[in-house]
């Protein structure tokens, strides 16, 4: 609804897929290192466990006022439920990113990135738990306000040494999926 430069991202899936953490890392990378403004929020309550859960990040070079997403510029869906529930909030020219490990019925949409993120995480990284980070790597290739190097710096701030290498590899792997 705005001609201002706010960019609205919703990360969606099931509870336990690390979406809120991914949202926080995304907001930190784009604001603390990217120099943009960011607001991150999430849904709380019973729906945060199982079912469709979501984290939102709004990024803008301008001051951000309304803290909730209205019409999404990008929707990441790691589950069929979430994709079905939130797809209608995506702008016509918005970008849909889906994990085809779980999303089998991908909506007909012009701008879609469909990759089996979870399967890649398991096969290449040996751990499904880094799927969220792998997805962030992919977003860095799609969203102009998100840079791979800023995500790497944020991970270095947040993660202990023994987890860092795996997560940095996951970022690169995800980023490599986007041509």
Partner 1 sequence: MANKERKMLLQGNEACALGALDAGCRFFAGYPITPSTEIAEKLSEELPKVGGRFIQMEDELGSICACIGASAMGRKSLTSTSGPGFSLMQEGIGYACCTEMPVVIVNVMRGGPSTGLPTAPAQGDVQQARYGSHGDHEIIVLSASTVAECYHQTVRAFNLAEKYRTPVIMLIDEVVAHMRQNVVLPDAKDLEIIDRKHPQVHPDWYHPYDNENQVPVLADFGEGYRYHVTGLIHDENGYPTTVTEEVTAFIMRINRKISENVDDICRIEYLGSARPDVLVVAYGSVMLTAQEAILKVKEKHKLNVGLVRIDTLWPFPDQLLDKLIDKVKKTCKKIVIAEMNFGQVYREIERINRGRLPLDAYFQVNGELIQPDAIYKKITGVKK
Q: Give min distance, CB of 99 to partner 1, in A.
A: 24
Give dist(CA 138, CA 158) in Å, integer. 20
5 near partner 1, rule: CB under 8 A: no
173 near partner 1, rule: CB under 8 A: no
45 near partner 1, rule: CB under 8 A: yes
Q: Which residues within the stretch 46-65 sit at the binding site for partner 1 (CB under 8 A)?
A: 64-65
Query: Which residues lie closer than 8 Å to 23 by C-beta, 6 or more apart?
Result: 11, 40, 42, 55, 56, 57
Burial class (CB in 10 A: 0-12, 13-18, 19+), 117: buried
Q: Give min distance, CB of 66 to partner 1, in A.
A: 4
As given in the structure block, the two tokens for residue 175 are 């980023």
Q: Which residues within the stretch 66-125 sit at the binding site for partner 1 (CB under 8 A)?
A: 66-68, 70
Which single residue is written with the structure tokens 């992919």?
138
Given candidates 12, 17, 31, 79, which one binds partner 1 under the rule CB under 8 A? 31
Nearer to partner 1, 28 or 99 (CB): 28
Q: Which region among 42-50, 73-81, 109-117, 132-140 touches partner 1 (by CB under 8 A)? A: 42-50
Nearer to partner 1, 37 or 109 (CB): 37
2 near partner 1, rule: CB under 8 A: yes
As given in the structure block, the two tokens for residue 40 are 């991150």
Give dist(CA 20, CA 17) in Å, integer. 9
**Site for partner 1 (CB under 8 A): how many residues?**
24
- Where b means 16+ CB within 10 Å and e means fewer, 81-98 reads bbbebbbebbeeebbbbb
Applying CB under 8 A, the residues found at the interface with partner 1 are 1-4, 24, 27-28, 31-32, 37-45, 64-68, 70
């Amino acid at each position: 609804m705005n001609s201002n430069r706010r960019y609205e991202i919703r990360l969606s899936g099931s509870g336990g897929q690390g979406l809120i953490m991914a949202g926080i890392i995304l907001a930190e990378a784009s604001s603390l290192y990217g120099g943009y403004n960011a607001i991150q929020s999430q849904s709380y309550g019973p729906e945060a466990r199982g079912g469709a859960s979501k984290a939102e990040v709004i990024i803008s070079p301008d001051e951000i006022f309304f803290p909730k997403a209205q019409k999404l510029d990008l929707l990441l869906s790691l589950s069929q439920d979430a994709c079905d529930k939130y797809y209608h909030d995506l702008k016509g020219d918005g970008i849909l990113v889906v994990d085809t490990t779980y999303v089998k019925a991908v909506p007909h949409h012009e701008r879609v990135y469909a990759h089996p993120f979870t399967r890649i995480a398991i096969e290449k990284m040996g751990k499904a738990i880094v799927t969220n980070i792998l997805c962030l790597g992919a977003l860095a290739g799609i969203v102009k306000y998100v840079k791979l190097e800023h995500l790497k710096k944020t991970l270095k701030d947040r993660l202990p040494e023994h987890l860092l290498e795996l997560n940095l590899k996951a970022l690169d792997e995800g980023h490599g999926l986007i041509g």
